[in-house]
């Protein structure tokens, strides 16, 4: 599997677990506010391709950290576009690590297969916006039905999960937020994230506006009416 970067330690990214993070290159979306453009855009990936990390190097690192770390977070880019993701996860679990997957949910069949195969311990899915506005925001690279299926499948609680959204005032209007309440109704865990207007994929988003802490807390109260646990990051 292609691995474009590694963070050797985190206590924040895998709930209740110490972990490392590996990043995979490439993505099937083009969200203008993305902060990981170096792992998304082909021209940026080309610049760092010589520094990609081998699977063996990751496995050796994990073997050295066994007993010190609990899990491995697989993030991106979008990990589910990696054809050998499943085999990579199997090997990591054989070493003795739990797995958290960060995904945009656009490859439902891959996500479902990993969960059905009991290969994931936690899933964090980014829910970008309302279904009606999805393609305009992320590009016409995805089938919205896959996004819907991933959300509904995760709601069945076959695996621990969270939904999360990065909020921008110019994107997440009152009508969009009302639609998102319906989409996420009955969810278990939801995190509202503040937009940071820097190092973004599309330079026009530098001028976009984040919600204030107070505004996010107000949104938290609204979403809490239909979601079990809602918090602000």
Residue 168 pairs in a beta bridge with 210
How much is the mean pLDDT over the chain?
Answer: 95
Burial of 80 (0-12, 13-18, 19+ CB in 10 A): buried
Confidence (pLDDT) at 225: 96
Residue 192 pairs in a beta bridge with 165, 232
Residue 72, number of CB atoms within 10 A of its CB: 27
Distances (CA, A) of 27 to 52, 76, 93, 137: 16, 7, 24, 14
Tell me how many degrees the CA angle 51-85-66 measures, rounded to the nearest 5: 75
Confidence (pLDDT) at 41: 83
Q: How does residue 206 score in pLDDT terms, banded at 50, 70 and 90?
A: very high
Q: How does residue 218 score in pLDDT terms, banded at 50, 70 and 90?
A: very high
Confidence (pLDDT) at 97: 98
Distance CA 58, CA 69 (A): 13
Share of the chain above pLDDT 70, in %: 100
Read off the pLDDT of residues 88-107 as tens digits, 9 standing for 90 and up: 999 999 999 999 999 999 99
198/109: higher pLDDT: 109
**Least confident piece of the model among 93-97, 159-163, 202-206:** 202-206
> Tokens 């988003």 label which residue?
205
Read off the pLDDT of residues 103-128 as tens digits, 9 standing for 90 and up: 999 999 999 999 999 999 999 999 99
Domains in the chain, ordered, with CATH?
5-232 (3.20.20.70)
Confidence (pLDDT) at 101: 98
Q: Which long-range contacts (CB under 8 A, 24 or more apart) does 38-41 make?
A: 38/4, 39/4, 39/5, 39/76, 39/77, 40/76, 40/77, 40/201, 41/201
Q: Are 22 and 5 in contact (CB under 8 A)?
A: yes
Q: Which two tokens stand for residue 116?
A: 């059905």
Read off the pLDDT of residues 20-72 as tens digits, 9 standing for 90 and up: 999 999 999 999 999 888 888 888 888 888 889 999 999 999 999 999 999 99
Confidence (pLDDT) at 5: 92
> Tokens 């709930």 label which residue?
15
């Amino acid at each position: 599997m292609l691995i474009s970067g590694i963070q050797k330690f985190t206590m924040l990214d895998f709930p209740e677990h110490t972990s490392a993070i590996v990043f995979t290159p490439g993505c099937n979306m083009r969200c203008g506010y993305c902060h990981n453009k170096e792992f998304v855009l082909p021209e940026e990936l080309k610049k760092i391709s010589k520094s990609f990390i081998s699977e063996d190097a990751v496995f050796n690192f994990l073997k050295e950290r066994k007993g010190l770390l609990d899990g491995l977070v697989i993030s991106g880019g979008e990990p589910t576009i990696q054809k050998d993701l499943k085999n990579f996860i199997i090997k990591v679990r054989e070493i003795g690590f739990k797995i958290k997957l960060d995904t945009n949910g656009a490859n439902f069949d891959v996500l479902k297969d990993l969960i059905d195969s009991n290969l994931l311990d936690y899933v964090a899915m980014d829910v970008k916006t309302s279904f009606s506005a999805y393609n305009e925001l992320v590009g016409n690279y995805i089938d919205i039905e896959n996004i819907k299926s991933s959300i509904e499948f995760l709601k069945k609680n076959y695996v621990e999960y969270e939904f999360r959204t990065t909020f921008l005032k110019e994107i997440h209007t009152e009508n969009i937020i009302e639609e998102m309440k319906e989409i996420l109704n009955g969810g278990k865990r939801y995190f509202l994230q503040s937009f940071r207007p820097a190092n973004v994929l599309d330079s026009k988003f530098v001028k976009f506006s984040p919600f204030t802490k107070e505004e996010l807390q107000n949104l938290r109260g609204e979403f809490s009416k239909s979601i079990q646990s809602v918090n602000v990051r």
